[in-house]
Amino acid sequence: MSLSILVTGGAGYIGSHTVLQLLLGGYKVVVVDSLENSSQISLERVREFAQDHAPKLSFHQFDLRDRPALEKLFASEEFDAVIHFAGLKAVGESVQKPLMYYDNNIIGLIALLEAMAAHGCKKLVFSSSATVYGWPKVVPCNEESPICALNPYGSTKLFGEEMCRDVYKSDSTWKIILLRYFNPVGAHPSGAIGDDPRGIPNNLMPFVQQVAVGRRPALTIYGTDYGTKDGTGVRDYIHVVDLADGHIAALNKLSDPSFGCKVYNLGTGKGTSVLEMVAAFEKASGMKIPLVMAGRRPGDAEVVYASTERAERELNWKAKYGIDEMCRDQWNWASKNPYGYEPCVSTD
């Protein structure tokens, strides 16, 4: 019998890649997504690619805060574990609309934890973020490094982690993994699924890709005076397929009877500057990315990259891909889907 996994936010960028890896790994997958930041076409593409495994995927469109809908789902199906991606993720928007972020990310998590507890499903993988390391004094960041929040989005991740730790403290039959993702980029090598953010992208690579396909005139580089090799910010970019595989490793860990609640970084351990990333993308795509040099973006850290030791040792997981593959797959997705999944409703 295959294990049944509830994936919240499974139509989104990281969710859709994880759903595909789960199906290919023999899991049964139930997705709940409101589609407020995604398209159902991502799941149709996942189904096409999953071939014989496709019948093991089902989809329910509702908001996690819709408690009657969540209750009905838990009453009708048994889940072995939940992977919780659903939430809002735009840092700038969270500063403009903090309550919308607290409402979605915090109330959504509470509704989920309550439904899980009520139905005796106590295995959870929670999407946290390297944003909780703020501007780290020491790199690489390991799981014991100090954490803080620099904006409301970051606060929801910090509180989300705390809530999970408290739930575990109150009832040690829970098994919870908090995954701190570094910078997910790239797309499935097929080019069928990838990142399709609504509106103006916040993140570097979705912006670069939109410049490459002619949707935006130039990339603005935020900060050229950092104390880094070329003055631009350094991050730990990780291929989204490696990240998706990290969730399978986490699920395996949750089946360990002695496991409790623990945090793991998912990164590569390598720092890459903005200019290095742009150069790698230009090489992979053959496209020239016009640049506009600008001042630092408020709230941005100088250098952030992961210590990957704990995940390697305890989850038996290690990222396989480097930035050349990330950029190759980002371009493959972009060139095949220049306007994302639903070009006719583009919000440009």
Determine which residue in the list 83, 150, 204, 306 makes contact with ligand UDP, applying CB under 6 A: 204
Least separation in angstroms between residue 307's CB and ligand UDP is 16
Instruction: Kindly write out the interface string for residues 171-200 of this chain, putting x where it contacts ligand NAD by CB under 6 A and - elsewhere.
Output: ----------x--x----------------
Measure the CA–CA gap between 334 and 12, rounded to whole angstroms. Answer: 16
In terms of C-beta distances under 8 Å and separation of at least 24 residues, what long-range contacts does 68-76 make, across chains too? 70/32, 70/111, 70/112, 70/115, 71/115, 71/118, 73/6, 73/30, 73/32, 73/115, 74/115, 74/116, 74/118, 74/119, 74/121, 75/119
Task: Residue 233: name its binding partner from ligand NAD, ligand UDP, none (Cβ under 5 to 8 Å by kind).
Answer: ligand UDP
Beta strands in 248-319 (DSSP E): 261-266, 272-273, 291-294
Q: Does 85 bind ligand NAD (CB under 6 A)?
A: yes
Binding positions for ligand NAD, 263-302, rule CB under 6 A: none
Q: Which of 153, 168, 264, 321 is catalytic?
A: 153
Q: CA–CA separation, 238 vs 249, rounded Å? A: 16
CB distance 118 to 68 below 8 Å: no
Q: CB–CB of 341/42 below 8 Å?
A: yes
Residue 143 near which of ligand NAD, ligand UDP, none (CB within 5-8 Å, type-dependent): none
Maximum CA pair distance of the chain? 56
Nearer to ligand UDP, 70 or 319 (CB): 319
Whether residue 32 contacts residue 10, with contact meaning beta carbons closer than 8 Å, is answered with: yes
102 counts as catalytic: no
Binding-residue total with ligand UDP (CB under 6 A): 15
Residue 38 site contact among ligand UDP, ligand NAD, none (CB < 5 to 8 Å, cut-off depends on kind): ligand NAD
Nearer to ligand UDP, 152 or 233 (CB): 233
**CB of 228 vs ligand UDP, minimal distance in Å:** 9
108 binds, among ligand NAD, ligand UDP, none (CB under 5 to 8 A by kind): ligand NAD
- Show which residues are catalytic: 153
